[in-house]
Amino acid sequence: MTRLCIGFEVHQPYRLNSGFRPGNYGGKSPEEAYFSGINREILERVCRKCYNPATALVLELLDQGFKCAFSLSGTLVEQLEKWEPDTLGLFEEVARHRNAEMLCQTYYHSVASLFDDPSEFEEQVRLHRQLMRDAFGVTPAVMENTEFLFNNAIAESAKRLGFKAIYSEGVERLLGWRSPNYVYSCRGINLLLRNYQLSDDIAFRFTNRQWPEWPLTADKYASWLAATPGDYVNVFIDYETFGEHQWEDTGIFEFLRWLPRECKARGVEFWKPSEIASLPAAEALNVEETVSWADVEKDISAWLGNTMQHMAIKEVQRGEAFASDKKTWRLLQTSDHFYYMASKFGSCGDVHSYFSPEACTNIEAFDMYMRVLSDFELRAAQKMKPKQVAMELRCLPPEQAFRFRTPRAYTGFSAYSLDDFADLLNFVPEDSLQYHLSRDDYSSWIRDVLNDPGLAEDVSKCGNRIELLEVTDRRRKELWSRLKGAGPAERRREEVWSRSR
């Protein structure tokens, strides 16, 4: 007897407005100007093609004994509340059904679990759990992190938050000779691993006419499930597979309609995640390297695979100091923004391009993101005390970044803040370092863009990398100390500085 556990990922981000320029709000609030009007258009299309017909079909199947799980991001629920309340009503019916289970994730489907400090990640999971209570009247017992990102630290967070189990990807480098079709444990919490081969048969290979097993029918798939060894099979796919990624005329809805009957005929039972999580763990796993379900690498390279992505994630982490508006800051952590910046090729590159909005390149996606983030921090810095310190530490837009060059070409390194500048001094090639020193470019940028004449003067006296590192690192630490510990004396200095402007 085979136990089948099926889960659906349901997420829509707030995509950024590619036409946004700092200060150009077009009569909208800054937050409204940051995010594209295309979000509503995309949601309405996906509801029409996928969410409405697929969820209506799932409700029919649930009454017939089918069981499944749904993980709805908070950004999706918000959009449904605003623009498609009838579709949200369908999901509410699913959540009330005894054969369905709602999972927990980060509210903003974010990359917060990749941050150095787990507190923001854990807070977003709490926010999502509360949303599930408020919107659907359920308290999830099982969670899945964004895109199945998982490691030992994430397991520890899930355990602290009181979950019964957490999902991740059944990758070979994690399992070795083991099968994904058993419950494992990690740091004291049960771990449910996705069988990515059987999942991808539906999600990616269903319409591939070059695949030797095409066409995939419900009876064929059910026979594979019945013949699969192990305690259970975990199939988890994007919900948009039904009708959006695989169009209705491919037969994808008929496949789903007939799957429960064909499974029942072959002795395959449907179980919910919390039921699977009650099975004894076969073994404890140690997951030091972060895994995910993204791309063939199944690691963090979909979001941290190039210098642009590293820069963006580092900057949004630092942006917490400017996050009086927590919601917008958290919307800027949504994983999709960084996914669009990936510089991958082949089939993985094709998938990244497919999901990228308005057919923008990864460089355009990065520039768009940094413009929005810099404007967000600029507006906050103008209200902070000490203002001059906040203005110097904020993230800059692309046109104000310091671009490290050699006498011949751009090195690929750009500093979007004083912190970036200090960090990159460790890595830029020596010929680039000396090129800018000889031209006094560093001190000019610090004086004209960061507005710190004192630091500019100190930098102009530097003659090598070590001196530059010492001067800039000392200054940034001093500024962060002042920003975080401003008292009455600091506020008086701020008033003097403001009057002098």
pLDDT bucket at 353, cuts 50 / 70 / 90: low
Q: Which of 297, 145, 174, 175 is nearest to 236 (CA)?
A: 145
* CA separation for the pair 112, 122 (Å, rounded): 9
* Environment class of 286 (CB within 10 Å of its CB; exposed 0-12, middle 13-18, buried 19+): exposed
pTM for this structure? Answer: 0.93
Q: Give the model's pLDDT for residue 351.
A: 58
- Give yes or no: 288 in active site: no
Buried-exposed string 13-34: b where 16+ CB fall within 10 A, e elsewhere: bbbbbbebebeeeeeeebeebb
Q: Is residue 216 a contact partner of residue 202, using CB atoms and an 8 Å limit? A: yes
Residues 6+ apart with CB under 8 A from 150: 166, 167, 168, 169, 186, 191, 287, 290, 291, 292
Q: 2-276 adopts what CATH topology? A: 7-stranded beta/alpha barrel (3.20.110)
Instruction: Please determine, for residue 494, whether its predicted confidence score (pLDDT) is greater than 90.
Output: no
Residues 6+ apart with CB under 8 A from 46: 12, 240, 244
Q: Give the model's pLDDT for residue 26.
A: 80
Give domain limits for the chain: 2-276, 384-501
Q: Give the model's pLDDT for residue 490.
A: 40
Instruction: Please determine, for residue 110, whether its predicted confidence score (pLDDT) is greater than 50.
Output: yes
Q: Give the model's pLDDT for residue 174.
A: 93
- Containing 303, the helix (H) or strand (E) segment is helix 301-304
Q: Give the model's pLDDT for residue 24.
A: 77
The encoded tokens of residue 141 equal 């017992």
- Containing 165, the helix (H) or strand (E) segment is strand 165-169
pLDDT bucket at 485, cuts 50 / 70 / 90: confident
- The bridge status of strand 68-72 relative to strand 100-102 is parallel
Instruction: Please determine, for residue 465, whether its predicted confidence score (pLDDT) is greater than 90.
Output: yes
Range in 133-137, 178-182, 483-487 the model is least confident about: 483-487
C-alpha distances out from residue 483 to 140, 177, 322, 486, Å: 39, 52, 10, 6
Q: Give the model's pLDDT for residue 498.
A: 38
User: Once rounded to an integer, what is the mean pLDDT over residues 358-364?
Assistant: 82
User: Once rounded to an integer, what is the mean pLDDT over residues 93-104?
Assistant: 98
Q: Give the model's pLDDT for residue 500.
A: 32
Q: Which residue did the predictor score with more confidence, 353 or 166? A: 166
Q: Is residue 147 a contact partner of residue 335, using CB atoms and an 8 Å limit? A: yes
pLDDT-above-70 percentage for the chain: 94
pLDDT bucket at 27, cuts 50 / 70 / 90: confident
Q: Is residue 227 a contact partner of residue 180, using CB atoms and an 8 Å limit? A: no
Q: Give the model's pLDDT for residue 29.
A: 86
90: phi then psi, degrees, rounded to nearest 5: -65, -45
Give one DSSP letter per residue of 223-256, joined into a string. Answer: HHHHT--SS-EEEEEEGGGBTTTB-GGGTHHHHH
Buried-exposed string 107-132: b where 16+ CB fall within 10 A, e elsewhere: bbbbbbbbbeebebbbebbeebbebb
Q: Which of 253, 259, 262, 258 is nearest to 54 (CA)?
A: 253
Q: Is residue 81 a contact partner of residue 131, using CB atoms and an 8 Å limit? A: no
Residues 6+ apart with CB under 8 A from 278: 164
Q: Give the model's pLDDT for residue 327.
A: 96
Q: Which of 147, 169, 392, 494 is catalytic?
A: 147
pLDDT bucket at 28, cuts 50 / 70 / 90: confident
* CA separation for the pair 164, 422 (Å, rounded): 43
194: phi then psi, degrees, rounded to nearest 5: -75, 135
Q: Tokens 């796919």 — which residue?
A: 237
3-state class of 383 per DSSP? coil
Range in 16-20, 150-154, 309-313 the model is least confident about: 16-20
Condensed to tens digits (0 to 9), the pLDDT of residues 175-199 reads 999 999 999 999 999 999 999 999 9
Residue-averaged pLDDT of the chain: 93
**Edge to edge, what strands does the sheet with 189-194 contain?**
142-143, 165-169, 189-194, 184-186
Q: Tokens 């995910």 — which residue?
A: 292
Q: Where are the alpha helices (DSSP H) in 74-160?
A: 74-83, 85-96, 119-136, 152-160
pLDDT-above-90 percentage for the chain: 89
ω into 386 cis (within 30 of 0) = yes
Q: Give the model's pLDDT for residue 344.
A: 53
C-alpha distances out from residue 276 to 91, 110, 162, 249, 269, Å: 23, 26, 17, 34, 12
Q: Which of 8, 172, 193, 180 is nearest to 105 (CA)?
A: 8
Q: What's the farthest any 2 CA atoms get from each other in the chain? A: 81
Instruction: Please determine, for residue 214, whether its predicted confidence score (pLDDT) is greater than 80.
Output: yes
Instruction: Please determine, for residue 127, whether its predicted confidence score (pLDDT) is greater than 90.
Output: yes
pLDDT bucket at 358, cuts 50 / 70 / 90: low
Length of the chain: 501
C-alpha distances out from residue 119 to 107, 111, 122, Å: 14, 13, 5
Instruction: Please determine, for residue 350, whether its predicted confidence score (pLDDT) is greater than 70.
Output: no
Kindly state the DSSP code that residue 280 receives in the 8-state scheme. P
Condensed to tens digits (0 to 9), the pLDDT of residues 287-314 reads 999 999 998 999 999 999 999 999 999 9
